[in-house]
A = this chain, B = another copy of it.
Amino acid sequence: MILTMERTTRQRQAIRDALQQADRPLLASEVLEQAKLAVPSLGIATVYRTLKTLVAEESLQIVALPGENPRFEFAHGHHHHFCCQACKRVFDVHACPGDLSRLVPKGFRIANHELTLYGKCPDCA
């Protein structure tokens, strides 16, 4: 199951670039749309295959919001997300609440956590 991405191709470069140049997590369809500007023949299957591999490598992480398709972004250190309830944009938040082990009942072991904040961004407030 572990794909190795042995080769460098125009399609993969275009997909990486699309994600790297975005300042927010992208939908698979948004990645396709953006990467097609560089490689018009690009197919959605290649986008999904590449996203899956990059997620498996932990180069990318998935941002899942209720009722929406998954978004993808390059892992860039531990961080969280702020979802504006007005404009629906998702922003990175680089602060972290820190150790949360006090929150779980005895017997549970926390390895990681994800935090999503909801509210209004400066533009919409």
Is A62 touching B66 in the complex (CB atoms < 8 A)?
Answer: yes
CB-CB under 8 A for A113 and B117, given A66-B64, A67-B64, A95-B102: yes
Is B119 touching A112 in the complex (CB atoms < 8 A)?
Answer: yes
| A:59-80 near B, CB below 8 Å | 61-68, 70, 80
Which residues on the B side are within 8 Å of A64 (C-beta)?
64-68
What is the copy number of this chain in the assembly?
A: 2
* CA of A25 to CA of B117, assembled, Å: 20
| A:104-125 near B, CB below 8 Å | 104-122, 125
Chain A interface size, under 10 / 10 to 19 / 20 to 34 / 35 or more: 35 or more
From residue A59, how far is it (CB to closest CB) to chain B in Å? 15
Please give the residue numbers on chain A whose beta carbons come within 8 Å of chain B beta carbons, in ascending order.
61-68, 70, 80, 82, 85, 91, 93, 95-97, 100, 102-122, 125
A-B contact pairs, 10 of them (CB 8 A): A62-B67, A64-B64, A64-B67, A85-B111, A97-B100, A97-B103, A103-B117, A109-B125, A111-B120, A115-B115
